[in-house]
Chains A and B, each alone.
Chain A
């Protein structure tokens, strides 16, 4: 199987178009199930009361903000190594969603912190700081790639920045172990979890919903970016007016 077949925008565009509705459907199913468990089925926490339900959004958003950055860095690395056009477009398409999740994780974290810790924000907490840096890195990536008019240079410069910033991800992940932080340690791990099963399910389902949503939105955005950048290509012209198929007519 040729893995590079779909790295050509002309082949990727219709594939993405076919996949997007499915990812939307999965996102809605997971979101409905996860939110039902999280907001209705899960019992009230005996220590933390109703406010603990924020974690159903917070944990998923925080996971996604880190994961999307890793995926972007992966695409950046691929773009630098193989010089594929699609890689840069994928990184570009994921960036706004990643920024949104990074912001969401900080925002919901602040809402969590107020009732639980008595403060919105704590400057001495390593996880809070490294998550804030992650948001800054996303913003830096967006600012840099939008400031460069030459798309190829924009993609490659963005990729370099992504790969430099990727050192922050393990710092976020291990911050609760490396430093003595107010932010609690991981409740979920491969070996098992220290939470009630139903809460865990709620969290995982919402995280899955966010994952599916990210894919759907990123693919949609990638399709738009492809049209913007490749509008001169024959296949895009054919797409927009089928009569002049194969021709270079167009304005």
Chain B
């Protein structure tokens, strides 16, 4: 438990020392969300309909952009190897990194999402569910993303490859996340979608780090 906390605190501290990385990911999210109204036209009714999908896809892509750095720096300076050699299982360290990744990527995205939702003229209820669904869904994105980041660690063209591997696995999160917001916007209850989203996140955070650890061991050999 202390080892886990240690990794979380360490990764957060490292991330906060390079705030430009976090901020540029967030701005990517803002820019993607702003491109759509410019592309499809300013009709408020259309934008309101597109908003859940657009914001969720933006969150997905923004999360994906920050993934290559999840292990790359630690891999380059040998920290990852030391983590693998330590008596604590590597999966635990990866779990810590996943939690930290969520704290510096998923959480800010969830905070930013309602602001962007306002641009799309979403109702208050839909804004609340949007924030909540991104909060609930992004842990799964960080977890699944860790597997992809581990598999592509140190490969040439890793970024594009990572998106090929990870985006198909993100589809269920996208469907249930955007589905929850759609449901509220359409006057239905979002509970089913949110429950499934939570299940994906719990599963993703519980299992993915151990699979990612397996992938990392391949990269370290």
Contact = CB atoms under 8 A, between A and B. Distances in A.
Nearest to B156: A147
A160 B165 contact: no
B179 to A, nearest CB: 11
Of the four ranges (under 10, 10 to 19, 20 to 34, 35 or more), the interface on chain B belongs to 20 to 34
B171 A144 contact: no
Interface stretch (B80-88, B123-131, B133-141, B147-155): B147-155
Given A147-B157, A156-B218, A164 B168 contact: no
B16 interface: no
Contacts of A143: 161, 164-165
Contact of A148 (B155, B167, B175): B155
A160 B147 CA distance: 9
B221 interface: yes
Given A157-B151, A157-B215, A164-B147, A144 B168 contact: no
A147 B161 contact: yes
A35 B156 CA distance: 46
A30 to B, nearest CB: 33
> Which applies to chain B's interface (DSSP): helix, strand, loop or mixed?
helix
A137 B168 contact: yes
A22 interface: no
A88 B169 CA distance: 22
A148 B215 CA distance: 13
Contacts of B202: none
A137 B151 CA distance: 14
A144 B169 contact: no
A157 B157 contact: no
Interface string A157-180: 100110111000000000000000
Contacts of B92: none
Interface string B161-197: 1001101110100010000000000000000000000
B156 A140 contact: no
Given A148-B155, A153-B218, A153-B221, A160 B168 contact: no
Contacts of A51: none
B211 interface: yes
Contacts of A139: 164
A136 interface: yes
Contacts of A129: 171, 175
Interface in B55-77: none
Interface-central residue, B157, B169, B175, B211, by most chain A CB under 10 Å: B169
Nearest to A154: B218
Given A140-B168, A161-B165, 15 more contacts: A129-B171, A136-B164, A136-B167, A144-B164, A147-B158, A153-B219, A153-B221, A157-B215, A160-B147, A160-B151, A160-B211, A160-B215, A161-B151, A163-B211, A164-B211
Instruction: Kindly list the 8 A-B residue pairs having the minimum CB-CB distance in the complex, ordered from nearest.
Output: A136-B168, A140-B165, A140-B164, A157-B151, A143-B164, A153-B218, A147-B155, A133-B168
